[in-house]
Amino acid sequence: MRSSFKSWRRRVLQWLAVNVFGRLLLPLMVRTWRVDADFPEDWLVRAQQGERILLAFWHNRQLGMLRVAAMLQPVSVLVSQHGDGEIIAQIMARFGVGAVRGSSTRGGTRALRRMIDATRQTNVAITPDGPLGPRYEAKDGVTSLAALSGLPVFWVSWSTDRAWIFKSWDRFMLPKPFARLRFAAAGPMWLDKSMAREALEALRLELQDRMRLQTATLDEDTGLAVDPVLRQRSSPDENRSAPAAR
């Protein structure tokens, strides 16, 4: 009886998340967000010319990325296979974002093949620390995808001084209505499938460090408390701390 109640409650919550929040409330909120963006010219030119790219961003910054999705059409995002992933996939579809179902922890090789197939038709966005973390730790899925597809990697993040931050593993962020979002993007980083494993690992750590530094700088600029993880550095040539929070 208790199991049936939990199953019923989960289905109700999923319906509310997709149909009330995803289809009604979120589109209205997104329209109220004000955006300051600093995007590299190379990215914009490629987008205008229809050239495909890989886009890396942190798992907890997914919703803000909906404001730049239109710039990257068509675009697909790797979404986990569990129930929450289905909610995310349906919500993203409302914004014209496709979903590639898979996980780096469940059927990772199969998910990578699907992502490679997707790169032949769309831009592909990936959260290197998803779906289960640790937070702000880039797994090797993004570098493997870049090496096998031959597409350049750009990394993007955003911050805001007005957001709800959830008590999830990733500290998921939902900008409040009329929030100002500050975006930054950088790249490209090129990888090749002929690279040795050590070289790919070094580039993974470099990408992780650059993404952390980018996000820490944005959080500092908007007055958001900088997560201690963002201050950590891994690459030998990037052994410096992120800016201190004001």
pLDDT, position 11: 66
Could you tell me if 43 and 56 are in contact, meaning their C-beta atoms sit under 8 angstroms apart? no
Nearest one of 106, 104, 172, 107 to 143, comparing CA atoms: 104
pLDDT, position 238: 46
End-to-end CA separation in angstroms for the chain: 52
How much is the pTM?
0.85
Using CA atoms, how far apart are residues 8 and 208, in angstroms rounded to an integer?
Answer: 40
Q: What angle do CA 72, 208, 39 make, to 5 degrees?
A: 35
pLDDT, position 174: 94
pLDDT, position 149: 93
Low-confidence ranges of the chain (pLDDT < 50): 238-246
pLDDT, position 234: 84
Nearest one of 85, 185, 171 to 135, comparing CA atoms: 171
pLDDT, position 139: 93
Q: What angle do CA 201, 65, 237 make, to 5 degrees?
A: 30
Angle between helix 141-149 and helix 197-222 axes, rounded to 10 deg: 120
- Counting other chains too, the contacts that 194-203 makes at CB distance below 8 Å and 24 or more residues apart are 195/147, 200/140, 200/143, 200/144, 200/147, 201/140, 202/235, 203/143
Task: Give me 118's structure tokens.
Answer: 């997707």
Q: Tell me the residue ranges of DSSP E strands in 75-221.
A: 75-79, 97-101, 123-126, 153-160, 163-165, 173-175, 180-189
CA 140 to each of CA 6, 34, 146, 177: distance values in angstroms, whole numbers, following the listed order: 36, 33, 10, 35
Q: Tell me the residue ranges of DSSP E strands in 17-141.
A: 34-38, 54-56, 75-79, 97-101, 123-126
pLDDT, position 90: 78
pLDDT, position 241: 41
pLDDT, position 1: 56
Q: What angle do CA 31, 19, 176 make, to 5 degrees?
A: 35
